[in-house]
Amino acid sequence: MPVRLYALILLTSCFGLGHNPTHNHLHADKPDHLHAEKPDETILNVTLQHQVPNTQQANHTRGANYEITTENETWKASQTAIIICDMWDSHHCYRAVKRQEQMVPRMEMLLTHLRSQGVTVIHAPSSCVSAYANNPARLRVASIPESSIPEGINQWCHSIPSEEQATYPLDQSDGGEDDTPEEHDAWAAALKTKGLNPRSPWKKQHPGLTIDPAKDFISDRGDEVWRILKHKELKNAILLGVHTNMCVLGRPFGLRQLSKNGVNVVLVRDLTDSMYNPKSWPHVSHLEGNALIISHIERHICPTLTSDQFVGGKPFRFTPITATR
């Protein structure tokens, strides 16, 4: 090899004058740190809990027996929504308000975390949306284009085919209030003092739950929530809030409607509460009644998960409310 050619090759190799396959010619004049690739999609690792029939035990006992099973899934945060159901600023049941106050800090922690990961947050304070008429999170809903919707999506859903053969686990025909008479009368008087209707005192969502005006949505309509999910290609929906045996199940944006229409919907079982009075069948404690409804959901409607899967620590647990003396 001629000496001059060898020298040229050596200079090229040592001083980077030749072709570098790691640099695109469009960015040759920019430093390497500006070429960093887009971060990987945020992945949510979830463990879903179901209950399935144990046919072996059922052969030896009357009725169906169930066993808990779990399944691990990975979801893209950008394809996931979390819907907050009816976490109002007040309620006609004193003890329901007290249990809600216990849940709110953990809910806020969960919403803040999931929002930061890219999950879409939808606030659904039924009958209170008008209070947010000028909020950007409400106005944002109008930017979602019209699209086809499932039949009956704006209606309350009392049951779906998968639960029609099941025995509903609670008698909630009395409305589910578990206050003592003294608690209830004192609470009603306090609401009247504030100028509120003791039967329906809610006006907005609980102030302890942040609505991000730059990112979130506000809607209590089934068609609007459906269009948000479809327009943003949100395949997974996480529901939390109250009350499990009523609004969480039956609302137009609730578990039944989403499940029967093919959404991969789950309930946050440690951040929900029921309206159940232990004086009614099956005469168990309020928290046991809530657990029965969650079991019904896991068996017949959709799986559940817990908040600690996202924020760490342990699942949230209520402190039982007892009568003041």
Q: Bigger pLDDT: 37 or 269?
A: 269
| Residue 12 in this model has a pLDDT that exceeds 60 | no
d(CA 3, CA 70): 72
pLDDT score of 55: 79
| Residue 17 in this model has a pLDDT that exceeds 80 | no
pLDDT digits over 263-291, tens only?
999 999 999 999 999 999 999 999 999 99
Query: Measuring CA to CA, which residue among 304, 295, 297, 243 is closest to residue 274?
Result: 243
Query: Quick one: pLDDT band at residue 27, thresholds 50, 70, 90?
Result: very low
pLDDT digits over 84-126, tens only?
999 999 999 999 999 999 999 999 999 999 999 999 999 999 9
| Averaged pLDDT for residues 298-320 | 98
pLDDT digits over 146-167, tens only?
999 999 999 999 999 999 899 9
Q: Bigger pLDDT: 55 or 51?
A: 51
Query: Quick one: pLDDT band at residue 323, thresholds 50, 70, 90?
Result: confident
> Mean pLDDT score of the chain, rounded to an integer?
89
> Which domains, and CATH codes, for the chain?
76-311 (3.40.50.850)
| Residue 79 in this model has a pLDDT that exceeds 90 | yes
pLDDT score of 300: 98
Query: Quick one: pLDDT band at residue 180, thresholds 50, 70, 90?
Result: very high
| Residue 184 in this model has a pLDDT that exceeds 60 | yes
Q: How far is CA 293 from CA 83, 124, 173, 273, 300, in A?
A: 19, 21, 15, 10, 11
- The pTM score is 0.86
User: What residue type is assigned to position 7 of the chain?
Assistant: A
Q: Bigger pLDDT: 137 or 6?
A: 137
Query: Quick one: pLDDT band at residue 40, thresholds 50, 70, 90?
Result: confident
pLDDT score of 324: 63
Of 47-61, 104-118, 253-267, 293-307, the poorest mean pLDDT is in: 47-61
Of 50-64, 176-190, 297-311, the poorest mean pLDDT is in: 50-64
| Residue 39 in this model has a pLDDT that exceeds 70 | no
pLDDT digits over 223-252, tens only?
999 999 999 999 999 999 999 999 999 999
